[in-house]
């Protein structure tokens, strides 16, 4: 079968009378719209209700799908323990989603269960649904710190799993809008708040799901939205489908935005593969933007783009300058975004047959394997600043006096541990500071004996 319908809903505990104790009356419009959604789900009578919730288990680099046969939950933490739930999970559908993710080497599955109890982002929708419809199992899925394109891709996998298992399912995307709509609200006011709400409700009205990728991370943070990534997973679950959309309500009287809308598939539509469309446009943009960089940076950028966008290691181009194909050297690839480090990995000595291959490999590592950061997502690529440092052969020195933070990088060694710091870095103003940071990077204590090496770099920007 297929996903029969999808719904965008909020999850204020206040809306449950036992929690709100009269306060729910101020969002009566939202309550009435929620009742319509529950009526529609009851009419569909789905076998499975898929719920994505910002308050389920969340990891920075992994999508958690709740495992097991069933789960319980209540509004006890909101002083209403009498409002409780016991739900059965659709284990077959959970397994199907997990298997697809595994086959596609995608970071999603049932690992890492920390809190088996149902969260309020799941229970508020269920409170309305279960008043009208007692049937159907559930699937509960958390969000992640990964990019919007990954959230959409998860939605595509959910769609495939539903089709493969023959489930009749509905998708409930649980999420509030901006939390910064009014000065008197619990989170205060931000000018980005009303703008976010207006834009996302316009998206909902037209089912313009491709526009969801245009919401930049810093804008969403300033708006303090809660549900955007939940809505993006929902959009992915409707990928390639024409959609009939209806907006039922939008309220901001508490200082938090609550939006409710429905989306009914209306047949296949090849124009609505929004992730593919976004990536195609992104590739065109990137082809145009690479022209101003030198050959070393162009190669690093092409390498990370090939790996992130196409999951392919860039073949060694043979039209590079002669020195890149014939010289062996260590190289570091440094990536910044909005002035902040986003990834940096390199090699002190050459590990490949030429510096070009060194750059190709280290660009992949810096963008996807620097364990200080999440892997870089496709939508971040246009905002990246990339530097390539080609290192001279390190030389041993017997004194810090032979260092210069502008000219020389330093390698600090103690036993089998080693820390490296590149030269001419923002905020590093003294040799003492340079050595101290290198010690920290190598896990070397401040009082441990060390040996020093210095090296120079040619920096390409």
Q: Is the pLDDT of residue 288 over 70?
A: no
Residue 234's pLDDT band (cuts 50, 70, 90): very high
Q: Determine the distance from the C-alpha atom of residue 30 to the mean position of all C-alpha atoms in its chain, rounded to a whole number.
A: 29
Local confidence band at 283 (pLDDT 50, 70, 90 cut-offs): confident
Per-residue model confidence (pLDDT) at position 50: 98
What is the DSSP track for 83-115? EEEEEEB-HHHHHHHHHHHHHTT-SEES-----
Predicted confidence at residue 290, as pLDDT, reads: 67
- The pLDDT score that the predictor gives to residue 289 is 63
Q: Tell me, what's the pLDDT at 418?
A: 94
Contact 323, 372 (CB under 8 A): no
Mean pLDDT, residues 302-306: 95
Q: Does residue 223 contact residue 180 with C-beta atoms inside 8 Å? A: yes
Least confident window among 166-175, 269-278, 282-291, 441-450: 282-291
Q: What percent of the chain has pLDDT over 90?
A: 90
Q: Determine phi and psi for 314, rounding to 5 degrees.
A: -65, 125
Coil, strand or helix at 178? coil
Q: What is the DSSP letter of 310?
A: H
* Nearest-5° Cα angle at 301, 296 to 303: 95
Query: What does the pLDDT read at residue 426?
Result: 87
pLDDT value, residue 281: 87
Lowest-pLDDT choice from 166-175, 200-209, 371-380: 371-380
**Does 89 score more than 90 pLDDT?**
yes
The mean of the pLDDT values for the chain is 95
Q: What digits encode the pLDDT tens for the residues 90-135?
A: 999 999 999 999 999 899 999 999 889 999 999 999 999 999 999 9
Q: Which of 322, 321, 366, 326 is nearest to 343 (CA)?
A: 366
Rounded to 10°, the helix 274-289/295-310 angle is 170
Predicted confidence at residue 128, as pLDDT, reads 98
Q: What pLDDT was estimated at residue 284?
A: 79
The whole-number pLDDT of residue 166 equals: 96
Sorted by where each starts, the structural domains of the chain and their CATH numbers stand as 3-276 (3.40.830.10), 284-460 (3.30.700.20)
- Does 377 have pLDDT greater than 70? yes
Q: What is the mean pLDDT of residues 250-258?
A: 96
**Closest listed residue to residue 176, CA positions, set 230, 129, 216:** 230
Give me the count of residues in the chain.
461
Structure tokens at 94: 């959970």
| Whole-number Å distance between alpha carbons of 136 and 47 | 4
Q: Is the pLDDT of residue 428 over 70?
A: yes
Question: What percent of the chain shows pLDDT beyond 70?
Answer: 98
| Rounded Cα gap, residues 366 and 207, in angstroms | 37
Residues 389-412 have pLDDT tens digits of: 999 999 999 999 999 999 999 999
Give the position of tokens 């609200």: 185
Give the separation between CA 240 and CA 270, rounded to whole angstroms: 6
Predicted confidence (pLDDT) per residue in 309-358, tens digit: 988 999 999 999 999 999 999 999 999 987 889 999 999 999 999 999 99
Distance CA(161)–CA(171), nearest Å, equals 13
Q: pTM for this structure?
A: 0.83
């Amino acid at each position: 079968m297929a996903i029969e319908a999808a719904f965008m809903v909020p999850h204020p505990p206040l809306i449950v009378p036992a929690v709100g104790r009269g306060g729910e009356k101020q969002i009566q419009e939202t309550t009435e719209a929620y009742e319509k959604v529950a009526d529609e789900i009851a009419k569909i009578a789905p076998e499975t209700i898929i719920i994505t919730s910002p308050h389920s288990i969340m990891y920075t680099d992994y999508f958690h799908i709740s495992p097991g046969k069933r789960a319980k939950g209540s509004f006890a933490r909101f002083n209403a323990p009498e409002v409780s739930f016991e739900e059965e999970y659709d284990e077959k559908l959970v397994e199907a989603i997990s298997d697809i993710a595994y086959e596609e080497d995608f970071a999603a599955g049932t690992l890492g269960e920390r809190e088996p109890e149902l969260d309020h982002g799941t229970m508020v929708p269920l409170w309305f649904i279960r008043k009208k419809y007692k049937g159907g199992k559930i699937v509960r899925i958390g969000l992640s710190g990964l990019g919007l394109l990954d959230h959409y891709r998860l939605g595509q996998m959910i769609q495939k799993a539903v089709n493969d298992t023959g489930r009749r399912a509905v998708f409930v995307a649980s999420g509030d809008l901006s939390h910064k709509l009014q000065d008197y609200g619990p989170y205060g006011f931000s000018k980005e708040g009303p703008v976010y709400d207006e834009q996302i409700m316009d998206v909902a009205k037209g089912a313009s799901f491709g526009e969801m990728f245009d919401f930049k991370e810093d804008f969403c943070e300033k708006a303090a939205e809660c549900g955007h990534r939940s809505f993006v997973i929902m959009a992915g679950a409707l990928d390639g489908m024409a959609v009939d959309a209806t907006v039922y309500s939008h309220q901001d009287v508490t200082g938090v935005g609550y939006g409710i809308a429905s989306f009914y598939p209306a047949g296949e539509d090849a124009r609505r593969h929004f992730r593919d469309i976004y990536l195609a446009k992104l590739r065109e943009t990137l082809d145009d933007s690479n022209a101003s960089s030198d050959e070393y940076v162009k190669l690093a950028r092409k390498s990370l783009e090939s790996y992130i966008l196409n999951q392919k290691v860039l073949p060694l181009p043979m039209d590079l300058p002669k020195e890149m194909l014939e010289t062996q050297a260590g190289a570091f690839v440094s990536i910044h975004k909005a002035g902040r480090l986003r990834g940096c990995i390199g090699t002190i000595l050459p590990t490949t047959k030429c510096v070009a291959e060194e750059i190709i490999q280290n660009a992949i590592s810096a963008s996807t394997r620097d364990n200080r950061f999440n892997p870089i997502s496709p939508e971040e690529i246009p905002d990246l600043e990339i530097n390539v440092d080609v290192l001279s052969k390190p030389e041993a020195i017997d004194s810090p006096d032979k260092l210069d933070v502008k000219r020389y990088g330093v390698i600090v060694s103690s036993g089998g541990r080693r820390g490296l710091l590149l030269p001419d870095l923002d905020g590093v103003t003294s040799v003492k500071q340079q050595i101290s940071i290198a010690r920290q990077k190598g896990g070397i204590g401040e009082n441990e004996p060390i040996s020093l090496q210095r090296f120079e770099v040619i920096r390409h920007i």
